[in-house]
Structure 1
Amino acid sequence: MDPVIVVGAGPVGLTLALALARQGVPSVVLDETPGGDPPRAARTVVLREDTAALVERLAGVPLDRAGLRWTGWRSLRRKQVTNEVVFSDPAVASGDTWAAARGAKGAGAGVRGAGGGSRDPEVAASGGSGTGSGDPGAVLDSAAAAGPAPLHIAQHLLTGALRAAAAREPLIELAVDSRLDAVEQEATGVTAHTRGPQGTWWRGSYLVGCDGPRSTVRKLQDIRFPGRTAVERYAVAALRTDLPRPAEAFLHRMPPWRTTGPFAGEITARPLPDGVWRLDWLLPPGKDLVTPELLLARIRETLTGWTGEATPAYELLDTGVHTVHHRLARRWRAGRVFLAGDAAHLLGSCGTHGLDEGLRDADNLAWKLATVWHHGPHETLLDSYQTERRASVSARLRAADQALPVLRGGGGLRAYLPGAARGQDALLRDGHLGRGALGAPGAYTASPLAAPHCDAEVPVDTPVGGQVTDVPVTAEDGAIVPLRERLGRGALLVVLVAPGSQVWERRHWVGAGIMPRLAAAVTALPHPAELLVAERYPGAAPHTVLLVRPDGHLVTALNGVRPADLYTAAEATLGGPAHTTTHAEAGAR
């Protein structure tokens, strides 16, 4: 069968190609550039726990060597009456912030990365002048409530790690200087033409457009891309300097030193290795010109405000203006052609980051393409990509659109209501840290692949359709590995919760109790599956059996070994009995 054609060699396209290769599917990646991503210090990305784990699994290297996980997030607001600067956390009720700060001691220990080191837990309880302005304040670290810290990394380093992994993969062909200009579909495949020094025709089984906001694939398929333009604008600077708490990110909602003018909004600072920081200043609506002189003045003002002293020495590395758009493609599939990443959606306000969703697109689509590539066309399975992913991104866009008036509405009566500022802080923190409706990974609760309810189904802490928790599991070879390490191999995962199993060698219990019956049920499933055993899983009773998709989303949790129910759930996960749709039917979608 012909390879999958991936258009675009950015993080999403390379992730998709690597995910396909991991499942035995060859691909051709069409890269319109000469190869590589030019270094830009101010062009960085933030990955959440699940997407960072996905990239590290596919790239084969821990990205912390190139990026930096920050320990927490400090969110500032100014009280309306006292003008006091407060470091606030939504998990802390109003009251004695100093006592709350002492209670947060040690919450953010342990930073990994070339530019990090470990954060001193005593700092969180120190209180004192958080901004250097003389205003008293208390520091509350939100790392414990947020879970694993986000990974902040320069995009060219991320792309470079993925490109290096793709170059080592024999199932991936990287075609540089290849700009797409035509796509043709037939009943058995798709043909793409590229222009350039070696312009040619490429034959593929499917084609996926990962070619960014101005997607040629989307335009060639005449797919509309409605939405909102310039939802937010930020002035951006990357610089090397010494700042307080070098492993923490700062979010200054209303800095006490701010002035009027185009830089009067909130300021975000995120650390990178080697003493480099990315600073973002929220700009007001409109098209005010950000001149170099104005940007330099705000850099000096901001650094002075943070340190409370004369402007510290700094080296300016890069600048730019980042404009956030909100758009969602009407269709993500046209026959054998799919869209993913920025070609399918744009988002990024309120601290959210679109790359997270693009990587989740690739993870969702890869196992479905791999299944049909190996086992034959299955239209329900392929259609589920658009249904699941478009609904998930649409929910995040809707949440951001609802939050923007609250965060940027200018105050009014809402600003004087009790808890209003705390609620605004929580919204921003959700977006930045990947929590809640703004930032948490979506759950495919209304998926066409959902298993029918059965009497043996039991609740666990992960909702059906949600991402499973990364717990240690014992694999079939006896190795104890993280659950996420077994994802993305094309197989379903069947996880038995068996407390005490890791105390004994696998050979002592693999043939005892319910294991033989469960192993036989797994072997009989309509798709390759791997049997894993976990000591525990959040909210699961002993002998609970979890069925997990190759992309890590929970299909069902069953009370014990139920071969018939397990088979039915696995069949539903694959879209039910296979049905091949004609090209005319598929092209009309």
Structure 2
Amino acid sequence: MHTFCDRAPCSDFVFTYVRKDIAAGRGRRAVDPVIIVGAGPVGLTLALALARQEVPSVVLDESPGKDESRAARTVVLREDTAALAERLSGVPLGEEGLRWAGWRSVRRRQVLREVSFDEGEPGPLHIAQHVLTGALRAALAREPLAKVAVDSRLDSVEQERSGVTAHTRGPNGTWWRGSYLVGCDGPRSTVRKLLDIRFPGRTAVERHAVAALRAELPWPDRALLHRMPPWRMSGPSAGEVTARPLPDGVWRLDWLLPPGKDLVTPELLVARVRETLAGWTGGPTPPYELLDTGVHTVHHRLARRWRVGRVFLAGDAAHLLGTLGTQGLDEGLRDADNLAWKLASAWHHGPYEALLDSYQTERRAVVAARLRAADQALPILRGGGGLRVYVPGTARGHDALLGDGHLGQGALGAPGAYTDSPLAPRHLDAEVPVGTTPGAQVTDVQVTAEDGSFVRLRDRLGRDALLVVLIAPGTGVWDRKHWVTAGVMPRLAAAVTALPGPAELLVAESYPGAPAHTVLLVRPDGHLVTALGGVRPADLYAAAEAAWGGPAKTEAEAGAGSGTR
């Protein structure tokens, strides 16, 4: 299977893969790979997620393939995005980065909030971006279903009913043929510009002076947000500094800058480092090693459209956010996770427009809600005018808002739920409430797979299959041969086999808020479709059909090149 088209010159890259059993009714509908433009964390994650679902891809990387090592360029990943990156890279990123042991919020000299994390509630993962990208690149290099084409800068995209053709220039310039194309090429996205998609929003919402340094601070492995520190700051300052720990005694410090374009000189940054460290340690400036500096500017923008035919946008090409401690990469990785299983379904079984359209509907709504929450909170927390929102407790209320962004909680930081998704089933008689709202991410619990092995629920995600989880207390201490043919299992297994798309049956001892014999239906990206009270084959079928985008179409209805699921 080639990525090239009938033009010349063309790429001679050939994919090899194991074909699925066409006799099982799941023959491949597409032959061309998915073209991914951009080799940042989002593009690499998408390529790995597609490979996990046996979909080939080619990543067009305009760089030489080596990422610049910048100690001051780091990312904070929440529990779900860190688990996604670890699952796809095969690397325990907690050993490459550092999970915070705790969080402290201070105003002047008063501690307003202190949080400690343990194994039951892992803290955010702080990691250098080049380390994360390197782990993803290494995993992709081992993946036979993917290729990274370096020194390949996109300059044109053409699409028709059967696929997409892209042209790259550079030393390896050529034509590429793909089934779909995804622009993961950052804020200045060429893909977005070629499609003439508007990217409205606000410029320079926040600016931060940044320094990465090695030093001993009084609170090892714990992040700190210090508002209105009691010492005098050199140069312009908005009175807020954040310290985030990294491995080997390295810290990233961010000083919020006031609005404007005041120049941050190296001398000014060094003076600020010395004053801040001396203020925190209560004496003269302690020894430190300055590793890297910079200025980080945050913009808020949201693309009008995330899909045009067979072309999609993801990550910074589709949205920019990051004020008040929030992390834009979190949302970019969630874009990739959401899109991957939908593209995989279309690639394997033929395109179904409702499923592909749901990517924009779900993800754009979640990011738009986060941007609205940040825009509402900014005037309060930064002392500006505009919209007034009542926050009880003043300083503590403000700290709670800021903490939400930094800790990945609340409207500013928590993973979004697809509560109004077009893929949500309607009017299920057997639906019951559990600890997870339909559309939200499921809780990671231990489950038993069909072969009797014990695994984590998150380990079974991203496999081009829905997960059907039966809550059955006691099964964890029984041998599989005793419970697999007992009680409701035979009936449930038959119902799962009859579903309109691929599904995997799992069993869990317990799940938050779920009584015995509850059946959970979970999407490949870990969002709950529904919870049913008992084995209800008709409701389970209806929910699965909705999750795949609705009733499957016949060959005649779908048109040439598509087919039934």
Give TM-score scaled by structure 2 length: 0.91
Aligned counterpart, 1:434: 408
Aligned: 1:523 with 2:497: yes
Aligned counterpart, 1:23: 53
How many angstroms apart in 2 are the aligned matches of 1:141 and 1:382?
40
How many angstroms apart in 1 are the aligned matches of 2:41 and 2:369?
23
Name which of 148, 151, 159 aligns with 2:133.
Answer: 159
Aligned counterpart, 1:266: 240
Q: Contact conserved, 2:378 with 2:384, CA < 8 A, in 1?
A: no
Alignment of 1:354-365 (within 5 A): 354-365=328-339
1:410: how far off?
6.0
Deviations 1:385-442 (A, max 9, x none): 0000000000000000011011001699x99996111111101110001000000000
Alignment of 1:416-431 (within 5 A): 419-431=393-405
Q: Contact conserved, 2:236 with 2:262, CA < 8 A, in 1?
A: yes
How many angstroms apart in 1 are the aligned matches of 2:190 and 2:392?
50
1:184: how far off?
0.3
Amino acid corresponding to residue 319 of structure 2 in structure 1: H
Which moves more between the two structures, 21-30 or 245-254? 245-254
Name which of 378, 391, 398 aligns with 2:365.
Answer: 391
Name which of 10, 28, 35 aligns with 1:5.
Answer: 35
How many angstroms apart in 1 are the aligned matches of 2:544 and 2:389?
51
How many angstroms apart in 2 are the aligned matches of 1:72 and 1:314?
22
1:253: how far off?
1.1
Aligned counterpart, 1:448: 422
Instruction: Please give the secondary structure, in 2, of the residue aligned with 1:246.
Output: coil
Alignment of 1:121-270 (within 5 A): 140-143=114-117, 147-259=121-233, 261-270=235-244
Amino acid corresponding to residue 21 of structure 1 in structure 2: A
Q: Are the structure 2 counterparts of residues 375 and 581 from structure 1 closer, same or farther at C-alpha, using a change threshold of 3 Å?
A: closer
Q: Contact conserved, 1:49 with 1:150, CA < 8 A, in 2?
A: yes
Q: Are the structure 2 counterparts of residues 296 and 569 from structure 1 closer, same or farther at C-alpha, using a change threshold of 3 Å?
A: same
Aligned counterpart, 1:368: 342
Unpaired runs of 5+ residues, structure 2, are 1-30, 561-565
Deviations 1:223-246 (A, max 9, x none): 000000000000000011111121
Name which of 486, 499, 502 aligns with 2:460.
Answer: 486
Amino acid corresponding to residue 2 of structure 1 in structure 2: D
1:142: how far off?
4.6
1:263: how far off?
2.5
Aligned: 1:86 with 2:101: no
Q: Are the structure 2 counterparts of residues 417 and 554 from structure 1 closer, same or farther at C-alpha, using a change threshold of 3 Å?
A: closer
Aligned counterpart, 2:15: none
Name which of 253, 258, 265 aligns with 1:284.
Answer: 258
| Same amino acid, percent of matched pairs | 80
Aligned: 1:547 with 2:516: no
How many angstroms apart in 1 are the aligned matches of 2:97 and 2:79?
14
How many angstroms apart in 2 are the aligned matches of 1:344 and 1:316?
34
Q: Contact conserved, 1:494 with 1:531, CA < 8 A, in 2?
A: yes
Q: Contact conserved, 2:391 with 2:398, CA < 8 A, in 1?
A: no
1:146: how far off?
10
Amino acid corresponding to residue 152 of structure 1 in structure 2: H
Q: Contact conserved, 1:263 with 1:298, CA < 8 A, in 2?
A: no
How many angstroms apart in 2 are the aligned matches of 1:578 and 1:321?
51
1:143: how far off?
3.3
Q: Contact conserved, 2:33 with 2:178, CA < 8 A, in 1?
A: yes
How many angstroms apart in 2 are the aligned matches of 1:491 and 1:480?
19
1:61: how far off?
1.2
Deviations 1:12-56 (A, max 9, x none): 000000000000000000000000211000000000000000000
Q: Are the structure 2 counterparts of residues 415 and 393 from structure 1 closer, same or farther at C-alpha, using a change threshold of 3 Å?
A: closer
Tell me how many residue pairs correspond in the alignment.
Answer: 526
How many angstroms apart in 2 are the aligned matches of 1:29 and 1:442?
28
1:475: how far off?
0.5
1:261: how far off?
4.0
Instruction: Please give the secondary structure, in 1, of the residue aligned with 2:208.
Output: strand
Aligned counterpart, 1:34: 64
Name which of 478, 483, 488 aligns with 1:509.
Answer: 483
Coordinate RMSD, CA, aligned: 1.8
How many angstroms apart in 2 are the aligned matches of 1:415 and 1:359?
30
Aligned: 1:50 with 2:80: yes
How many angstroms apart in 1 are the aligned matches of 2:118 and 2:99?
14
